[in-house]
Amino acid sequence: MARIHSQSSERPTVDSIRSVADAVRRRVLEHTLTNNGGYLSQACSSAEILATLYLRVMRLGPSDASSIPKPFAGVPGADNPDAFTGAGYNGPKGPDFDRFIFSPVHYALVLYSLLIELGRLDPNALDAFNRDGSTVDLIGAEHSPGHEVTAGSLGQAISQAGGIALARRLRGDSGRVWVFMSDGEFQEGQTWEAFAALAYHGLGNIGVYVDANAQQCDGPMDSVMCIEPLGDRLRAFGAEVHEVDGHDPDALAAPAESMAERDRPLVVIARTDPCRGIERLRERAPKLHYVRFKSETEFETYRTLLNQMREGIR
Ligand SMILES: Cc1ncc(C[n+]2csc(CCOP(=O)(O)OP(=O)(O)O)c2C)c(N)n1
């Protein structure tokens, strides 16, 4: 396991970010085999984006949450003092710390796997994955490790993040708000309303990373409803937009590192490959959304592949 603590003062190298991303893919593949199903292609597309966010981009303190996640304590509300969010895995809240808002929560297993690789979550946490009463949900929610808001209905978290960013600016916090989104969310009206509001309020303390893997539930994005030219459309909505290779940690980090005083939201459109690192998946395209192996031969093929991936660890 490539364990790297993101709170380390040393700047992680590109190789170390890549090896964390590879470890995330291996863990998600292993889990997909043992659970007979998983959001595996999302690990392939987003592993470098999330690893770069945690290791290079975001200013986070060490986790202050239990390494074995606590069970579900009920929905939040004035009459439930026990309710909690999963944000503690991203470190304490404080004026100078960044906040992370995870929007396409069906990617939850990818985030849990990353938190494990970073030493923020115990590997045994996945034993509770998708179990009744557990917070390690298949589709993450606000109580799930690394999550701060409930966003299972896609396209909502960006609005919540905008509210947090506006409040932080009013309070004078130096910490920023980072949002991870999927490209399917740009088919939704609420997303565009949110971007209009971010620009209207001149929110330069928010940055959005989009996993543009060109896939959604029913197949390729273009076959359902094309969102391109996404960069031009977001610029027209007042954002500063960078389009980068979503598997290149330096290219992913660069727009955030040059984040001078900004009066508009930053968007990094990360162009990604939903089969990256597990080439064999390509034979399943366009059915990549949720991977379930059907025959013993297929299981055997992917078990062998996992062993090869483990042997290839740098
Ligand atoms: C508002 C809303 N509509 C539909 C869904 C069902 N849904 C879950 S994942 C998903 C795929 C969306 O594509 P994308 O977010 O790009 O994810 P990817 O295919 O890359 O995993 C859909 C439609 C949902 N969760 N929320």
How much is the pLDDT for 5? 42
* 215 within ligand 1 shell (Cβ under 6 A): yes
Tell me, yes or no, whether 3 lies in a domain. no
We report the CATH number of the domain holding residue 227 as 3.40.50.970
Domain that holds residue 52: 20-73+81-311
Cβ neighbours of 195 (radius 10 Å): 23
Mean pLDDT of 50-70: 98
Tell me, yes or no, whether 149 lies in a domain. yes
Mean pLDDT of 134-138: 98
Tell me, yes or no, whether 197 lies in a domain. yes
- If one counts the domains in the chain, the total is 1
How much is the pLDDT for 161? 98
Tell me, yes or no, whether 130 lies in a domain. yes
Ligand 1, residue 45: give the atom nearest the CA.
20
How much is the pLDDT for 4? 42
For residue 229, say if its preceding peptide bond is cis, omega within 30 degrees of 0: yes
Q: Is pLDDT above 60 for 1?
A: no
* 289 within ligand 1 shell (Cβ under 6 A): yes
* 103 within ligand 1 shell (Cβ under 6 A): no
Tell me, yes or no, whether 1 lies in a domain. no
Tell me, yes or no, whether 57 lies in a domain. yes
CA of residue 174 relative to chain centroid, distance = 23
Are 270 and 209 in contact by the 8 Å Cβ rule? The answer is yes
* 216 within ligand 1 shell (Cβ under 6 A): yes
* 154 within ligand 1 shell (Cβ under 6 A): yes
Tell me, yes or no, whether 206 lies in a domain. yes
Are 118 and 54 in contact by the 8 Å Cβ rule? The answer is yes
Tell me, yes or no, whether 5 lies in a domain. no
Are 183 and 230 in contact by the 8 Å Cβ rule? The answer is yes
Contacts of residue 220, Cβ cutoff 8 Å, sequence gap at least 6: 214, 286
**3-class state of residue 314 by DSSP:** coil
Of all protein residues, the one whose alpha carbon is nearest to atom 14 of ligand 1 is 184
φ, ψ for residue 105 (rounded to 5)? -75, -5
The model's pTM: 0.96
Ligand 1 center to 187 CA (angstroms): 10
How much is the pLDDT for 313? 75
Length of the chain: 314
